[in-house]
Amino acid sequence: MTIEPELCRVEDALGILVGKWKPIILLLLLKNGTQRFSELKRKVPEITQKMLTKQLRELEDEDIIERVVYPQVPPKVEYSITEYGKSLEPILAAMHEWGTKHTLHKQQKLEQESM
């Protein structure tokens, strides 16, 4: 296996996770299931509507999440992780595990430096 195709596959996965708000959106949906636009907005107040919409659309375009519009007024739109999207969980789990170790690693480094 040369490096090139391997790189592409890695970057495919990375491309889907990258975006200032995508990880938290995915974690929220994975954890709490189907949620309305306004619920997500409420749980991540720092995000602007424009950004929330944009990140949701991008995830939807990749079939990671599903968008269901109810024909009501005021509008109701629900988002949920697709079965396919759930396949990202091992990656997120691996990152979470690594990140936890990394936090320790950084702390130890700081302690060393201060001695």
CB-nearer residue toward DNA: 40 or 88: 40
- Figure out which of the listed residues 3, 8, 73, 110 binds DNA, where binding follows CB under 7 A: 73
Contact 18, 95 (CB under 8 A): no
Residue 85: how many other CB atoms lie within 10 Å: 20
Listing from the earlier edge strand, what are the strands of the sheet with 65-70? 35-36, 76-81, 65-70
Q: Is 42 in the site for a copy of itself (CB under 8 A)?
A: no
CB of 44 to a copy of itself, least distance (A): 10
Q: Is 45 in the site for a copy of itself (CB under 8 A)?
A: no
**What three-state secondary structure class fits 81?**
strand
Q: Which of residues 21-40 bind DNA (CB under 7 A)?
A: 21, 36-38
